[in-house]
Amino acid sequence: MVQARDDRTEWAWGYVPMQVTRRVKEILGWYEGEYPGVKTNLVRLLMQGRLAGTGKLVILPVDQGYEHGPARSFAPNPAAYDPHYLFQLGIDAGLSAYAAPLGPLEQGCDSFAGQIPLILKLNSANSLSGLQDQAVTATVDDALRLGCVGVGFTIYPGADACYGQMEELREITREAKRKGLLVVVWSYPRGGKVSKQGETALDIVAYAAHMAALMGANIIKVKPPTKGIDLDAAKPTYEKAKVPDETLADRVRHVMQCAFNGKRLVVFSGGEAKDTEGILEDVRQIAAGGGHGSIMGRNSFQRPREQALELLDEVTKIYLGKA
C-alpha cells in the first residue's frame, strides 16, 4: 500500500486515504440534514485522485454525443469514440469523477470498477430537436446498479419546459438521496426573459446556481459568468449594491455567494473549445474566486491523449496552488 504523504500529488492516483481531511469534514458539515449515504459518497468523490482531500474537484463529463452528435464530439480525437478510452483518460489524469449517460458507463463499469467515481447523467437533449427540454434517459436504480456515487440532471431555468424539469428533478433528488446517491445539477438558463447573449451573464449564472441550491443539489454545475446584467429587473439592484464584476474571479465570487454563501460545491464548465492558455487562465480565475473546481469535457477529450493529460495536469496544479 502507498503511504499517505503531505504532498497529495505524490499519492497513487485512485488511492483513497483512510484519514478524511479537515477540509472534507468541513464541507460535509455544510450538508446538514443529508442522509449518511449521500455524505459517504461525497467523501468518495472528495477523497479521489490528485485533488483528494483538498475540497477541489476536476470532473470529466462526456454527454456531448447526445447534445452535439458523435462526429462533432469525437471526430477531432477518434480514440474518444470508445467509452473505455474516456474511463482511462479520467483515471490516468487522476480526476475526481467521470460523468456520462447510461450507455458509456455500462460499457466500462465492469472493466474499470472502483477505479474512478461515476456520475450517471439521467437526462439529455439532442441537436435534432428544436425543443428547450431534455428527456429522462436513465434511472436512479441504473446508477446504483453501475456503482455510481451520484446522478446528474440538467435544468433550463427560463425555458418553457423549466417547471416540468424542476418537478422531475424534485422526484429524482428525493429518490437518489434516499438511496444514498448525491445529486449534481447542471443549471443552464435559457429562453423566457433570458437573452441568448445573456445566458452566461453574471446575474443569470448566479440565479442559476442559487436555484440549483434551492432544489437540493449537492454539487452545482454552471457556466463561467461573463460581465453584464441581463435581467432588467435585476439591474438596479446590482448597480446599487455595486457587485464587483470586472474580472472572472470577481464574478465567480458572486456566484459562490449565491450558492448559500459558498456552502455548496460549485464547479464550472469548460465551455466551447479554446486554446490552452485561455482555458488555464479561466481556471486560475475560477480558483481565485473560490470556485470548487472544473468540469471539463470537450476541451480535454477532443485533444490527443498526451495533450489532454498535459492540460488536465496543469488544471490540477492550479487547484493545488502549484501553478
Q: Which of the residues 56, 121, 177, 221 is marked catalytic?
A: 221
Is the four-CA dihedral 243, 247, 253, 257 of positive or negative sign? positive
Q: In sequence order, what are the residues at sequence separation of 6 or more whose Cβ sits closer than 8 angstroms to the Cβ of residue 261?
A: none
Q: How far is CA 66 from the centre of its chain?
A: 17
N-terminal to C-terminal alpha carbon distance within the chain = 29
Is residue 188 within 8 A of residue 165, CB to CB? The reply is no
Q: Which of the residues 188, 207, 223, 319 is marked catalytic?
A: 188
Task: List for the chain the helix, strand, coil content (%; round to 5).
Answer: 45, 15, 40
> What are the grid coordinates assigned to 250, written together?
470577481
Residue 136 DSSP SS3: strand
Residue 155 DSSP SS3: strand
Give burial (CB, 10 Å; 0-12/13-18/19+) of 25.
exposed
Question: CA-to-CA distance for 181 and 148, rounded, in angstroms?
Answer: 8
* Annotated catalytic residue 188: yes
Question: CA-to-CA distance for 210 and 217, rounded, in angstroms?
Answer: 10
Per-residue burial over 237-247, b = 16 or more CB atoms within 10 Å of its CB, e = otherwise: ebeeeebebee
Give burial (CB, 10 Å; 0-12/13-18/19+) of 15.
middle
Question: CA-to-CA distance for 289 and 253, rounded, in angstroms?
Answer: 5
Active site residues: 188, 221
